[in-house]
């Protein structure tokens, strides 16, 4: 679940500071910089944690296995809560600042740390912070972008974020090459990047108030913006979106399963197993902006559903006639494209389906539904994998996905059009 | 606040953050150099001189340039001169003929290897697949079978934790594959729990029977397996990282018991009767023990605080008597070659 560990975007806010079609808003670039720096911070630590725990703390990898962090359910709850508070107070920046702040502080605690329990709590705290900040941050991105270029805005943000995730491990290993015992230096560097990212957020990201800006005087002809209420989430469009996303989500098996399958087809995939996620990250980086723009142009639901064709191709590369490097490269490219076509795009759709007053909650809900569906998929596929065997299980998923894609396309039809109407 | 003030604050924060990191890096380097200068090189010998008498192969944890290298000492003089093999391993096991070395190649992205060497010549015999962080390594008595346990990330969305992958291979022959593909018999019935994991294999002398840990549903079990039938069956609950005595009569393993998560005690299981007795070690032991002889086991314990990267190999009798004592200081992952 490499890619999925990071927060996936979402978006919101129709009625805020559209910046025209020329460029991506400065706020989006600033938030991208915040995410880049924060990802350098967290991924530099994640990259060395197994080695640190086993060779410095003298813990066996069994103890490492106990670092579960928080459970999926708690994380989902935190995310929804973060979204709801941001809507309720109309202060997404404040809530995001709180989330980034928690993560930065958790890095300080890592520096003097020598016990296993302490490291577990640091990691848990970091993930809590991540859960809190994701939806409000995405709401800020949406609030500062023109509705017609939201896909591109999220693409730009996710690209910057992924760049940070790739720099982090490089930084960590560069430090360890310069000073082989310098694990603590890595933690200090991680804290340094977290603080710089936090400073960019606090000092430069504007304190947008999406609901306030969405009801200017000249908009008096429109009805008054509704008060934040979760009942607003129960709109037909939103329900259709969640059902469609859930249907596709339960057929999305974990990246880890695909990677393990690749090791059966390509001996190099075994040797370079830990590099596989870098491959799909590169593909994600390459396609996030182009697919975001495509979504703006031809319709977001088309790109969202179409992304699952890339997922289907990834399954076929991993589980079918291909072998050797062709299977590995093909699978990773398709997997990266799938994430690029779905992550920001889902949020962009969700944000347009609910009123600005609960935009953050709307985004958080769609993301959580997808995350929970993928969680179910992973458990379900694990069961199939052990009862049917690897290849038949994957073949079954291929056929189910082929059947599900048209159904999902039908369920999601027209959701773009209603968006165009509402923002016209 | 004016933009100029904000920019000033930002530049100050950046300078402090980056300056602090660079200062820490420089200090670590100079501390390392000082530590290396101040750590006297241990007396060394050659493996050929040790090979005629019982000896112990291990991973050296002296904080010098040999940190992590494989070494051997005479069993009669465990604190005496060390013979270094020149290869670095995270986990090592050896028999009279062969050495199994699990190592991580640090790089932009760390990769992992499991290599089998000829102990005497140091020549590489073969390389076994290893997908994740090295954990446990074992060879059968005659060195024909190898078992590796590593941790794999990303098997499931369900957990951010690792799952284990334990593979038994015939050296120079085919792999028996992952233990997860073996038939698992529990209380007379074949079961297929989705979340099953295996780790910590120990081989019997017949090169067919083995013991290991199986886990599913948050419970661990001591299992006995047969390579010929590709079957394992459960013996007793709450058992991890078993190690079979040379005479095949006892298995010592680590057990959670009433200890908190992440802590284990050592217990002795009598194969014939199934009786379980606690050893006198009170520290939490997170290791797969090795047998010094038929009545003593040895295992690694990390030191506390900033010395945690240094571990010592301790020894304790299996009958619950005696006091644990350090056998080889600054050592880890011991393998006894009688």
- Using the predicted structure, report yes or no on whether residue A240 has a pLDDT greater than 80: yes
Main-chain dihedrals φ then ψ at residue B118, nearest 5 degrees: -80, 125
CA distance A312 to A384: 18
**What is the nearest CA distance from B157 to chain A, expressed in angstroms?**
5
Task: Choose the closest CB to A179 out of B29, B90, B164.
Answer: B29
Task: Choose the closest CB to B90 out of A54, A69, A204.
Answer: A54
Q: What is the pLDDT of residue A10?
A: 38
Q: How would residue A282 be classed by pLDDT, with cut points 50, 70 and 90?
A: very high
pLDDT digits (tens, 9 = 90+) for A90-144: 999 999 999 999 999 988 888 775 666 677 777 778 888 888 898 899 889 988 8
CB < 8 Å to A383, chain B = 194
Q: Does B215 touch chain A (CB under 8 A)?
A: no
CA distance A309 to A303: 10
Beta B44-45 vs B82-88: how paired, if at all? parallel
Q: How would residue A285 be classed by pLDDT, with cut points 50, 70 and 90?
A: very high
Q: How would residue B276 be classed by pLDDT, with cut points 50, 70 and 90?
A: very high
CB < 8 Å to B158, chain A = 72, 375, 378-379, 382
CB < 8 Å to A108, chain B = none
Q: What is the pLDDT of residue A417?
A: 57
The closest alpha carbon to B142, from B82, B187, B193, B204, belongs to: B204
Do the domain assignments include residue B30? yes
- B56-115 residues touching A, CB cutoff 8 A: 68, 90, 104, 106-112
pLDDT digits (tens, 9 = 90+) for B300-316: 998 876 676 788 999 99
- Check A58 against B155: CB less than 8 A apart: no
Q: How would residue B40 be classed by pLDDT, with cut points 50, 70 and 90?
A: low
Q: What is the pLDDT of residue A66?
A: 46
Q: Which of B157, B214, B302, B333 to mutate to test the interface with A (most CBs of A within 10 A)?
A: B157
- B150-169 residues touching A, CB cutoff 8 A: 150-164
Average pLDDT over residues A328-344: 93
CB < 8 Å to B29, chain A = 178-179, 182
Main-chain dihedrals φ then ψ at residue A61, nearest 5 degrees: -65, -15
> Which span out of A77-81, A322-326, B285-289 was modeled with the highest average pLDDT?
B285-289
pLDDT digits (tens, 9 = 90+) for A371-396: 888 888 877 887 787 778 778 889 99
**What is the nearest CA distance from B52 to chain A, expressed in angstroms?**
32
Nearest CA in chain B to A205: B6
Range B45-82 burial, b when 16+ CB lie within 10 A, else e: bebeebeeeebbbbbbbbbbebbbbbbbbbbeebeebb
Contact call for residues A257 and A393 (beta carbons, < 8 A):
no
CA distance A103 to B254: 35
Higher-confidence residue of A210 and A226: namely A210
- Using the predicted structure, report yes or no on whether residue A259 has a pLDDT greater than 60: yes
Q: How would residue A23 be classed by pLDDT, with cut points 50, 70 and 90?
A: confident
Q: What is the pLDDT of residue B63?
A: 75
List, in sequence order, every residue forming a beta bridge with B250; answer none if it has no partner. B270
pLDDT digits (tens, 9 = 90+) for B228-267: 999 999 999 999 999 999 999 999 999 999 988 778 999 9
Q: Does B205 touch chain A (CB under 8 A)?
A: no
- Using the predicted structure, report yes or no on whether residue A191 has a pLDDT greater than 90: yes
Report how far Cα B208 is from the mean position of its chain's Cα atoms: 22
Do the domain assignments include residue B31? yes
Q: What is the pLDDT of residue A146?
A: 85
Beta B183-186 vs B231-237: how paired, if at all? parallel
Q: What is the pLDDT of residue B39?
A: 66
Average pLDDT, chain A: 81
> Which span out of A21-25, B75-79, B175-179 was modeled with the highest average pLDDT?
B75-79
Q: What is the pLDDT of residue A58?
A: 58
**What is the nearest CA distance from B75 to chain A, expressed in angstroms?**
24
Beta B219-226 vs B231-237: how paired, if at all? antiparallel
- Using the predicted structure, report yes or no on whether residue A364 has a pLDDT greater than 70: yes
Q: What is the pLDDT of residue A65?
A: 46
- Check A256 against B156: CB less than 8 A apart: yes
The model scores a pTM over 0.95: no
Q: How would residue A161 be classed by pLDDT, with cut points 50, 70 and 90?
A: very high
Higher-confidence residue of B160 and A236: namely A236
Q: What is the pLDDT of residue A114?
A: 63
Q: How would residue A227 be classed by pLDDT, with cut points 50, 70 and 90?
A: low
Q: What is the pLDDT of residue A59?
A: 59
Average pLDDT, chain B: 89
Do the domain assignments include residue B6? yes
Q: Is A207 exposed, middle or buried (0-12, 13-18, 19+ CB in 10 A)?
A: exposed
Higher-confidence residue of A143 and A417: namely A143
Q: How would residue A225 be classed by pLDDT, with cut points 50, 70 and 90?
A: low
Task: Choose the closest CB to B24 out of A72, A173, A188.
Answer: A188
**Number of domains comprising chain B:** 1
Q: What is the pLDDT of residue B26?
A: 92
Share of chain B above pLDDT 90, in %: 67
CATH number for the domain running over A16-207: 1.20.1250.20
Higher-confidence residue of B113 and B327: namely B327
Q: Does B282 touch chain A (CB under 8 A)?
A: no
Average pLDDT over residues B195-204: 92
From residue A280, alpha-carbon distances to A291, A376, B220 in Å are 15, 22, 35
Instruction: Tell me how far apart the terminal alpha carbons of chain B are, to the nearest angstrom.
Output: 75
Q: What is the pLDDT of residue A46?
A: 79
CA distance B103 to A260: 20
Q: Any idea where the domains of chain A sit in the sequence?
A: 16-207, 231-424
Q: How would residue A217 be classed by pLDDT, with cut points 50, 70 and 90?
A: very low
Nearest CA in chain A to B7: A203
CB < 8 Å to B162, chain A = 61, 64-65
CB < 8 Å to B112, chain A = 273-274
**What is the nearest CA distance from A193 to chain B, expressed in angstroms?**
7
The fold for domain A231-424 equals Growth Hormone; Chain: A; (1.20.1250)
Which stretch of A326-330, B30-34, B166-170, B238-242 has the lowest confidence by average pLDDT?
Answer: B30-34
Nearest CA in chain A to B36: A181
- B15-44 residues touching A, CB cutoff 8 A: 17-18, 20-21, 24-25, 28-29, 31-32
Count of positions (residues) in chain A: 424
CB < 8 Å to B20, chain A = 188, 192
The closest alpha carbon to A352, from A149, A205, A160, A216, belongs to: A149
Q: What is the pLDDT of residue A196?
A: 96
Do the domain assignments include residue B181? no
Which stretch of A37-51, A372-386, B69-83, B149-163 has the lowest confidence by average pLDDT?
Answer: B149-163
Range B219-254 burial, b when 16+ CB lie within 10 A, else e: ebbbbbbbbeeeebbbbbebbbbbbbbeeeebbbbb
Q: What is the pLDDT of residue A1?
A: 28
Q: Which residues contact B313 (CB under 8 A, 6 or more apart)?
A: B56, B58, B78, B298, B299, B300, B326, B327, B328, B329, B331, B332, B334
Higher-confidence residue of A411 and B132: namely A411
Q: What is the pLDDT of residue A27?
A: 94
- Using the predicted structure, report yes or no on whether residue A162 has a pLDDT greater than 70: yes
**What is the nearest CA distance from A220 to chain B, expressed in angstroms?**
33
Q: Which of B136, B154, B167 to mutate to test the interface with A (most CBs of A within 10 A)?
A: B154
- Using the predicted structure, report yes or no on whether residue A3 has a pLDDT greater than 80: no
Domain of B23 in residue numbering reads as 1-38
- B291-320 residues touching A, CB cutoff 8 A: 300, 302-303, 305-306, 308-309, 311
Task: Choose the closest CB to B308 out of A57, A182, A196.
Answer: A57
pLDDT digits (tens, 9 = 90+) for B86-130: 888 989 999 999 999 999 877 666 778 899 999 998 899 998 878
């Amino acid at each position: 679940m490499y890619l999925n560990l990071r927060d996936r975007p979402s978006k919101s806010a129709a009625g805020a500071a559209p910046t025209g079609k020329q460029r991506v808003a400065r706020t989006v670039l600033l938030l991208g910089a915040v995410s880049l720096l924060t990802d350098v911070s967290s991924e530099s630590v994640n990259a060395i944690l197994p080695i640190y725990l086993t060779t410095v703390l003298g813990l066996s990898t069994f103890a490492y296995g106990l670092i579960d962090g928080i459970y999926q359910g708690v994380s989902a709850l935190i995310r929804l809560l973060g979204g709801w508070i941001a809507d309720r107070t109309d202060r997404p920046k404040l809530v995001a600042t709180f989330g980034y702040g928690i993560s930065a502080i958790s890095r300080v605690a890592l520096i003097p740390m020598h016990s296993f329990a302490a490291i577990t709590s640091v990691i848990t705290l970091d993930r809590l912070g991540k859960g809190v900040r994701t939806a409000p941050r995405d709401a800020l991105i949406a609030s500062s972008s023109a509705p017609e270029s939201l896909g591109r805005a999220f693409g730009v943000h996710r690209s910057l974020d992924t760049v940070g995730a790739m720099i982090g491990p490089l930084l960590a290993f560069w430090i360890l090459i310069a000073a082989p015992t310098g694990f603590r230096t890595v933690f200090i560097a991680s804290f340094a990047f977290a603080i710089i990212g936090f400073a960019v957020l606090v000092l430069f990201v504007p304190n947008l108030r999406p609901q306030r800006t969405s009801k200017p005087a000249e908009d008096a002809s429109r009805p008054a913006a509704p008060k934040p209420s979760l009942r607003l989430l129960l709109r037909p469009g939103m329900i259709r979106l969640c059902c469609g996303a859930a249907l596709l989500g339960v057929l999305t098996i974990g990246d880890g399963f695909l990677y393990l399958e690749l090791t059966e087809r390509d001996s190099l995939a075994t040797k370079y197993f830990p590099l596989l996620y870098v491959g799909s990250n590169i593909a994600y980086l390459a396609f996030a902006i182009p697919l975001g723009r495509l979504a703006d142009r031809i319709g977001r639901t088309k790109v969202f559903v179409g992304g699952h064709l890339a997922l289907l191709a990834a399954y076929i590369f991993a589980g079918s006639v291909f072998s050797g490097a062709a299977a590995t490269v093909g699978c990773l490219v398709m997997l990266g494209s799938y994430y690029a076509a779905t992550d920001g795009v889902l949020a962009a759709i969700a944000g347009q389906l609910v009123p600005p007053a609960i935009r953050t909650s709307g985004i958080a809900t769609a993301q959580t539904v997808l995350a929970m569906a993928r969680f179910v998929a992973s458990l379900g596929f694990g069961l199939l994998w052990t009862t049917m065997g690897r290849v038949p299980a994957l073949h079954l998923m291929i056929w189910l996905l082929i059947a599900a894609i048209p159904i999902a396309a039908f369920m999601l039809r027209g959701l773009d059009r209603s968006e165009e109407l509402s923002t016209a | 606040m004016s933009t100029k003030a904000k920019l000033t604050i930002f530049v100050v924060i950046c300078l402090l953050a980056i300056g602090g990191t660079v200062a820490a890096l420089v200090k670590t380097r100079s501390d390392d150099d000082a530590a290396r200068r101040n750590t006297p090189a241990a007396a060394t010998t050659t493996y050929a001189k040790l090979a005629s008498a019982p000896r112990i192969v291990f991973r050296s944890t002296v904080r010098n340039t040999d940190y992590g290298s494989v070494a051997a000492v005479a069993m009669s003089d465990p604190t005496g001169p060390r013979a270094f093999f020149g290869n670095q391993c995270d986990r090592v096991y050896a028999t009279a003929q062969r050495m199994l070395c699990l190592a991580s190649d640090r790089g932009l992205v760390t990769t992992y290897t499991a290599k089998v060497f000829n102990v005497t010549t140091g020549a590489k015999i073969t390389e076994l697949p290893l997908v994740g962080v090295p954990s446990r390594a074992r060879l059968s008595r005659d060195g024909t079978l190898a078992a590796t346990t590593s941790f794999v990330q990303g098997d499931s969305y369900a957990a951010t934790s690792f799952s284990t992958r334990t593979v038994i291979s015939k050296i120079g022959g085919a792999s028996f594959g992952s233990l997860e593909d073996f038939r698992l018999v529990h209380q007379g019935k074949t079961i297929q729990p989705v979340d099953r994991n295996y780790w910590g294999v120990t081989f019997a002398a017949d090169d067919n029977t083995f013991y290991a840990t199986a886990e599913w549903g948050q419970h661990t079990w001591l299992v006995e397996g047969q390579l010929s039938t590709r079957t394992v069956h459960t013996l007793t609950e709450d058992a991890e990282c078993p190690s079979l005595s040379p005479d095949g009569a006892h298995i010592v393993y680590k057990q959670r018991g009433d200890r908190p998560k992440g802590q284990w005690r050592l217990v002795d299981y009598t194969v014939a009767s199934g009786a379980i007795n606690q050893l006198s070690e009170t520290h939490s032991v997170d290791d797969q023990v090795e047998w010094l002889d038929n009545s003593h086991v040895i295992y690694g314990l990390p030191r506390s605080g900033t010395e945690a990267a240094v571990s010592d190999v301790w020894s304790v009798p299996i009958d619950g008597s005696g006091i644990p004592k350090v056998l080889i200081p600054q050592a880890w992952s011991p393998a006894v070659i009688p």
